[in-house]
Amino acid sequence: MAVATLHAAPRPRAYVSVIGPDAAAYLNRMVSNEVESLPVGGSCEALLLTPKARIIAPLVVCRRGEDDFLLVTEPVAGERLARELVRARFAAKCSIEPEEHRSLLVLGADEHVSSQHELAFPNRDYGVQAVEVLDADPPEGSEPISDDELERLRILARTPRLGAELDDRVMPAEAGLEERAISFTKGCYPGQEPVARLHHRGHPNRGLRVLALSGDGLPAYDAELTLEGKVVGRVTSAAPRPADGVVALAYVRREVPPEADLLVDGRVARQLGDSGDPATLTGSPRP
C-alpha cells in the first residue's frame, strides 16, 4: 500500500553531466549497470567502482537525450565522480562537467507526479513508493517530512548510504546492491572481475540487517555487535523509533541466525525480518 498523503523533502545531491557522441558508450564501459540501452527519459541505478570493486560513488543515471546523460549522486561523491570520469576518458568524445540542480524527494508519488516534471526518476531508498524530481517545488497539498523520519525509513528499507554503510571496506554484494545497481550481462567495467567472481563462485560473508534496540541512546558508528561473547558485526546507522527505542542498520556475519538476539554496548539488539517495523509514516501504513 502506498502512503496516503504526499510527503516532500529536499534531497542533498551532486550532479555530473556526460554529453557528447561517445557519452553512452563511455558510460557503459565505466559504470556497473547497462546504460547504453536506456531510453531517453529513462534512468537506472549504477555504481562507479575501483578495480578492486570498492565503491567510489552510487549513482542514478538519467538519459536526457541520445547523447546527454545526467549522473545524480551523494554530495560527498560529486567531485571525485567527475574527476575519475575525466581521468579515464582518454579519446572518448564527451564533455564531463558538474551541474547545479535542486532535488526534491516526494514520498507517495506515482507516475502522474513524474509526468508533470521534465526530469524525474523513481527513488527506492525508503521502502515506499517515491519519486525524485529536479528543480521543482513541493506538490500542492504535500506535507514535510523530518530528517529523522527519512533516516528511519531508509534504515528499515536496508538502503546503504555512502559514508555509513558504503566505504572502502565494503563490496557491493555485502551492501545488497547487486539486484538494483549491477548488470551481469553487460560489457566490462572497472571492478567487474571481483564483482562477478563473488556473484558466481561464492557469497558475501556478511550482509546488512535491521536491528531494534530498547532505550533512547543511539549506538556509535562502528559499535561492535556480539553473540555469545564473539564479535559478529558492526552498527553503521541508527535512528529513533516513533514510540520508543532505536532502529539500526548493521553488517552482520552470514552465519548468525536471523532470530538470534545480539548485544551492542550491553543492550539487546533484536533482528527485524523483511517485514521491518510496524511503525507508521506520519499516520499512514508502511507498504
pLDDT of residue 277: 46
pLDDT at 286: 35
Across the range 181-206, mean pLDDT stands at: 93
At 122, the pLDDT band (50, 70, 90 cuts) reads very high
Query: pLDDT, tens digit, for every residue of 215-229?
Result: 889 999 999 999 999
Q: Where in the chain are all domains bearing CATH 2.40.30.110? A: 205-287
pLDDT digits (tens, 9 = 90+) for 145-167: 999 999 999 999 999 999 999 99
Q: Is residue 127 very low, low, confident or very high in pLDDT (cuts 50, 70, 90)?
A: very high
Domain spanning 205-287: CATH superfamily: Aminomethyltransferase beta-barrel domains (2.40.30.110)
CATH 3.30.70.1400 in the chain, residue ranges: 7-139
- Predicted pLDDT of residue 284: 35
Indicate yes or no: pTM above 0.85.
Answer: yes
Assign 3-class secondary structure to the chain. Answer: CCCCCCEEEEECCEEEEEECCCHHHHHHCCCCCCCCCCCCCCEEEEEEECCCCCEEEEEEEEEEECCEEEEEECHHHHHHHHHHHHHCCCCCCCEEEEECCCEEEEECCCHHHHHCCCCEEECCCCCCCEEEEECCCCCCCCEECCHHHHHHHHHHCCCCCECCCECCCCCCCCCCCHHHHCCCCCCCCCCHHHHHHHHHHCCCCEEEEEEEECCCCCCCCCCEEEECCEEEEEEEEEEECCCCCEEEEEEEECCCCCCCCEEECCEEEEEECCCCCCCCECCECCC
Residue pLDDT, tens place only, 229-248:
999 999 999 999 887 799 99
- Mean pLDDT score of the chain: 91
Fold category of 7-139 in CATH: Alpha-Beta Plaits (3.30.70)
